[in-house]
Amino acid sequence: MSTAVAGPHATRAPGFWQSTNGKKAVMAITGAILFLFVIGHLLGNLQVFDGPARLNAYGRFLHNLGELLWIVRGVLILCVVLHIVATVQLWARNRKARPVGYKVKKSVASSYADRTMYWSGPIVLAFVIFHLLEFTAGTIHPESRFIPGDVYHNVVAGFSVWWVSAWYIFSLILLGMHLRHGIWSMFQSVGLNHPRHTPVLKQAALWIAILITAGYISIPISVLAGWVR
Amino acid sequence: MKLTLTIWRQRNPGSRGKFVSYPMNDVNPEMSMLECLDVLNESLIERGEEPVAFEHDCREGICGSCGFMVSGIAHGPEPATTVCQLTMRHFKDGDELVLEPWRSRSFPFLKDLVVDRRSFDRIIQAGGYISVSTGSPQDGNDIPVGKEVADRAMDAAACIGCGACVAACPNGSAALFTGAKIAHLGILPQGKPEQDRRAVRMVAQMNTEGFGSCTNIGECTGVCPKEIPLEVIAKMNHDYLAGAWKERHKVVTAITPVTDWELAKK
């Protein structure tokens, strides 16, 4: 049996968006913007510890931004859509890249967080939708009434339900794992890697992810423990 | 020592394959994995059975011909080792080793443990070279290269193109291979003039071949017998992003391979 190439023909090469590298760069940049949002949102949320007046004033401030608020929301939605579309397309491509699987396959270098990005991502997405319905739209607000404008009341009432808090904590731990890989991976995807800086960046990614997760989780824990009421 | 080798046996791409277990009673711990297969093949030939097909050439870990999965790890459990250099003393008496070929859409299956890795050749053909005019050579000392730069280029140039990176990658990505080939030339002054074109064309060929995308998890580096660093993938991404912008006016073409066994399947 000969395996000689019978008829190679030149084709137009995949463009930027068609290439895996281009899609990963888009994922890195959209991921970076969403990461900045996660930090900003955390700083805003932590004002819950300053009492109702402060948090509700912050809520009013955001709503009074008017068009600017919708521009920011638009950018975030665009980032989420691009991040997900690129992921889904690459995932489909990667599944096709190995039609016959291995009988035995062991991981030797990757971490649990690295390998579960395909799981942490969709679960965090489901959480974000639930979170928006609960605290922004107010359509889901178990066991209490959603009061538009009274952010502090909504937070305390929402997190007083144990399973809402549990779901929140679980999702935020997954977000932390997603960030633990994503924070350093986005630098790699846009071509920034240095033998000296990258090990530091990987350590920093771990600690930033832990700090962000701890910061967010402190809110439902404080509500459940009765420190914030 | 006693070992059981459970090996993927498949006569050709069209036939159905299956795992066959071969108990081996007299394995010398000093033998390499390939020598162990040689001994097995001797006995198979004596019994009138088809010997196990596997690729090999230099048997000193530098040619890149050999390679298969040993119990789930490309080139076996020893780091920085090809299967020809993997000695059997690393296994325990009574172990069962599962030998499988590289599994990738871009490495079409041929026979037993042998796959067609010419997709790698086509990626190199797309730009993994420097164009040098003929004539009398320039004096080597005219091109100063710092020791650190030479070392980085050499680290990338150590790639032997065995395909373990693709085989180990859960996404079947060839990013480490392509990155190594782009980096080892692009780092040196001789490779700089063609850096943009090289990155764009080699990445285009890599993407045309149907390899998966890189998710930066590092399984490739973990199994690489030459320990090529993940840094080369960043170098590829960097050169590709810069090159795709600078060369945006150019129409880039890639080769779509059509092999006769693919035609035979249709």
pLDDT in tens, A28-42: 999 999 999 999 999
Mean pLDDT of B218-238: 96
Contacts of A156 (CB under 8 A, 6+ apart): A223, A228, A229
Nearest to A141 by CA among A120, A128, A124, A156: A156
Contacts of A66 (CB under 8 A, 6+ apart): none
Q: How does the average pLDDT of chain B come out, rounded?
A: 93
Q: Quote the pLDDT of residue A8.
A: 63
Most A-contacting residue of B18, B195, B237, B253 (CB-CB within 10 A), to test interface: B237
Beta-bridge mates of residue B253:
A12
Q: Using a CB–CB cutoff of 8 Å, tell me whether B148 touches chain A.
A: no
**Token pair for A56:** 């509700």
Q: Is the pLDDT of residue B256 over 90?
A: no
Q: Quote the pLDDT of residue B264.
A: 57
Domain ranges of chain B: 3-110, 118-130+147-246
Q: Quote the pLDDT of residue A1.
A: 42
Q: Which residues on A lie below 8 Å from B217 (Cβ)?
A: 109-111, 114-115, 181
Please give the C-alpha separations between residue B102 and each of A33, A34, A140, B60, B131, in angstroms, as whole numbers: 38, 37, 50, 20, 33
Q: Which residues on A lie below 8 Å from B252 (Cβ)?
A: 12-13
- pLDDT tens column, A187-215: 999 999 988 899 999 999 999 999 999 99
Mean pLDDT of A135-163: 90
Could you tell me the CATH superfamily of domain B3-110?
Beta-grasp domain (3.10.20.30)
Contact at CB, A19 and B233, closer than 8 angstroms: no
- pLDDT tens column, B156-200: 999 999 999 999 999 999 999 999 999 999 999 999 999 999 999
Name the residue facing A93 among B71, B212, B218 (closest C-beta). B212
Domain ranges of chain A: 22-93+116-225
Q: Quote the pLDDT of residue A139.
A: 87
Q: Which residues on B lie below 8 Å from A116 (Cβ)?
A: none
Q: Quote the pLDDT of residue B266.
A: 53
Q: Quote the pLDDT of residue B259.
A: 61
Domain B118-130+147-246, what architecture?
Orthogonal Bundle (1.10)
Q: Is the pLDDT of residue B260 over 70?
A: no
Name the residue facing B71 among A13, A94, A104 (closest C-beta). A104
Q: Quote the pLDDT of residue A2.
A: 46
Mean pLDDT of B213-229: 96
Q: Is the pLDDT of residue B148 over 70?
A: yes
- pLDDT tens column, B85-134: 999 999 999 999 999 999 999 999 999 999 999 999 999 999 999 998 78
- pLDDT tens column, A44-60: 999 999 999 999 999 99
